[in-house]
Amino acid sequence: MVGDTAGKRSIVRGTKLRRTGALDDLAGDVGKKRAGRGRIAALCLVLLLHAGVMVLMLMTEVRLAGAAVFLLVWIMLNCLWLALLRRPTVAALVSLGILIVLTLLSRFKFDKLWMTIDFVDLMIIDRDTTAFLLEIFPGLRWWILLAVAATAVAIVIAWRLDRYRVSLQTSLAGFVISAATVVAVSLFWPTGLNEDFEGRSYVSKFARTGVEAVYELSSRGYLEAAESAHGTVAEAADAVCHPTRKLPHIIVLHDESSFDISIAPGVHVPAGYHRHFQSFDGRERKLLVEGVGGPSWFTEYNVLTGLSVRSFGRFATSVTRIAAGHVYRGLPRILQQCGYETFSLYPFYGSFLGSRAFQTTTGIARYLDMHDLGTSAFEADSFYYDRAIDLIKRERGNGTLFLYVYTVANHFPWDERLRSELAPDWRDLGNAPEVEEYIRRQAISAQEYQALLKRLAQEFPTESFLIIRYGDHQPQFGARLLDPSLGEEEIAKRAKALDQRYLTTYYAIDAVNFSPVDITSALDRLDAPYLPLVVLQAAGIPLGASFAQQKAILQRCDGLFYSCEDGTQASRLNRLLIDAGLIKGLAD
């Protein structure tokens, strides 16, 4: 009886063991099938991600070198994440996310500013940049949080699916080889500053500018300066000048995107068009600027500091952000030393490219941006002239005034009429639509400028005024208009080679109740960094040591500055200003 019971128990245990073994085998088979499906899913996902990045490359890269750098960056990013995570699907997902974010941000910046993101933007992340982004796109922080959350969910899913592993040695080897190749290609085929204003090649441009920026920063700092220079410009920051006559109020007008368009073939202009570009003496003077079709802040830097943007090399597109808190040499600061109250009327956000911080560094005491001026959009020139008149009425009792006034009537886009009521009798001249609107706006600007001169004479009969105005760059379509036979690539080459046809605008000198004292430096063709010198001499203000040095360069180089002697004169002046403490922390 006992034996039978034990036997039955043994049989039951055996049956259970066989059932358990069968279940284990079944579970093992199910697990293997699941693992197999997971591997297939992971493989399909990683192939899909790689295919996606190829589509992105074909959509954004237009040059062979750019496509090669794009692929190298893709390999480099994947290898970096593989070294950290070892999972190829997760590595590809994170890498693709980075490239997509970079492309979208660069496209967003181009849509708003006609300039793409380069590596310098990553190097110089300041409070103004963040404030500017949040001002023009207040919902940005929520989009960023949403994107981070979606990416985190995708990474978790990919992590669970991915069963493949890549060794650390293989990942590091791939990273080193691809990174070294990116460096070599970037140094062999450097970008041009004009490429920052092209809405394409976002990834390759970012990578190549990174190599160029790191190389320049490590070799000479942000600013090109001679190792040593003979002479001195040791003028004290708080020096006081002693003029020999009563000084005029000074107004410097930044005439956005303006140049004499009649130099382009086949363009029709209205009668009297050229008078707007003439000075008080009837002469038309040409200004050589340093930016092609867009960078107003290049000429802003030239006019306020008297220095060259080209001295910043790869960092030129961020020149005002870099110069803020570092470049103290400035026309407004010299005028302050002569008792001037200094003001700036700026039509955009003061945080744009660090404009407020830059201008106050050069000596602007009162900076008024679009919020201070009471506007939320670009206005006709008369709006800014009215604000300038109001400021003069309010402040002239406190001393002699310097006003730096931006006008933006000629700013793009030109595919819609700006304030049609301002030119009710306008008749089209037979030009292309954007050219027609551009010339119409120039005609309005000319009328409103003449009205400004009349108001100054009538409302301030006992006050004297010196007015200097200039075009900051040609409009974006200017290069195409000057030579319609050239393709985009050829125009880019010529712009990179600093062809003067694409860099020529105008400057003019006018006066109300005042005769300009000395205009010997106001040559018929002048580099933009010399414009402060023209202002000082025309107003009769004694030149400080650094501007006396620059006047000697002007005379020796016949109106050229950086392009004179391959930049050596500009580099020498930079060194003298560094030694004098007027430029700080930008060069070795």
Q: Across the strands, what pairs with 465?
A: 249, 512
Structure tokens at 180: 């070294």
Q: How far, CA to CA in Å, does 286 sit from each of 92, 388, 502, 508, 537?
A: 53, 26, 12, 9, 18
The order of strands in the sheet holding 249-255 is 366-368, 341-345, 401-407, 249-255, 465-471, 507-512
Cβ contacts of 123 within 8 Å, gap of 6 or more: 213, 217
Cα gap 191→204, rounded to integer Å:
10
Q: Point out the residues of the chain with pLDDT beneath 50.
A: 1-2, 17, 22-23, 26-28, 30-32, 35, 237
> Cα–Cα–Cα angle for 205, 207, 208, nearest 5°?
65
3-class secondary structure, 468: strand
What does the DSSP assignment read for 295-323?
-HHHHHHHHHH---GGGGGGGGGGHHHHH
pLDDT of residue 2: 47
Q: Is 374 left (phi over 0), alpha (psi -120 to 50) or beta?
A: left
DSSP 440-467: HHHHHHHHHHHHHHHHHHHH-TT--EEE
Query: Which distant-in-sequence residues (6+ apart) come within 8 Å of 497 by Cβ?
Result: none
Question: What confidence score (pLDDT) does residue 296 get?
Answer: 92
pLDDT of the residue at 13: 56
The whole-number pLDDT of residue 31 equals 46
How many C-beta neighbours within 10 Å does residue 92 have? Answer: 25
**Residue 37 half-sphere exposure, CB side, CA atoms within 13 Å?**
5
- CA distance linking residue 198 with residue 93, whole number of Å: 28
CA neighbor of 202 nearest in space, from 305, 117, 329, 89: 117
Amino acid residing at 574: N
Q: Which of 401, 62, 361 is nearest to 204 (CA)?
A: 62
* Domains delineated in the chain: 23-220 (no CATH), 257-415+429-539 (3.40.720.10)
pLDDT of 354 reads: 87
Q: Of the candidates 372, 401, 123, which has an alpha carbon nearest to the alpha carbon of residue 251? A: 401
* Residue 403 tokens, joined: 């006003």
User: Given this model, what pLDDT does residue 359 score?
Assistant: 96
Q: Which residues contact 236 (CB under 8 A, 6 or more apart)?
A: none
Instruction: Give tens-digit pLDDT for 308-367.
Output: 999 998 888 889 999 999 999 999 999 999 999 999 999 988 888 889 999 999 999 999
pLDDT at 91: 82
Task: Let me know: does 550 contact 306? Beta carbons within 8 Å.
Answer: yes
